[in-house]
Amino acid sequence: MCLAIPLELIEINGNTAVGEAMGMRREIRVDFIDAPQPGDFVIVHAGFAIERLPKEQAEADLEAWEEVRHALG
């Protein structure tokens, strides 16, 4: 089971990209994503984007993570 935060791709340079979520930016690889574009949401495992998510799903997941963060203080 992967407990990942969806990242929005904000920069792409070949097979490397920068993803952002919840104020965090991370450099990731996008080798497994077909034609990645800025604005795409992806799930990342071990530094690789492994799946593209629909925007609605990514937003719902991020909202759930915010609820967890606030519940934990």
Number of domains in the chain: 1
State the average pLDDT for the chain: 93
Which stretches of the chain are DSSP H helices?
A: 55-72
Condensed to tens digits (0 to 9), the pLDDT of residues 34-45 reads 999 999 999 999
Q: Would you say residue 41 lies in a domain?
A: yes
The residue ranking higher by pLDDT, 30 or 5, is: 30
Residue 1 confidence (pLDDT): 58
Q: Would you say residue 17 lies in a domain?
A: yes
Q: Would you say residue 43 lies in a domain?
A: yes
Structural domain including 12 reads 7-72
| Block residue for tokens 């609605």 | 56
In whole angstroms, what is the distance from residue 17 CA to residue 38 CA? Answer: 9
Q: How many Cα atoms sit within 13 Å of 56 on the Cβ side?
A: 0
Q: Would you say residue 1 lies in a domain?
A: no
Using alpha carbons only, what angle is made at residue 58 by residues 21 and 66, rounded to the nearest 5 degrees?
Answer: 55
Residue 20 confidence (pLDDT): 97
Condensed to tens digits (0 to 9), the pLDDT of residues 15-36 reads 999 999 989 999 999 999 999 9
As beta bridge partners, residue 19 has 9, 26
The residue ranking higher by pLDDT, 24 or 73, is: 24
Residue 7 confidence (pLDDT): 96
Q: Would you say residue 2 lies in a domain?
A: no
CATH label of the domain that carries residue 47: 2.30.30.140
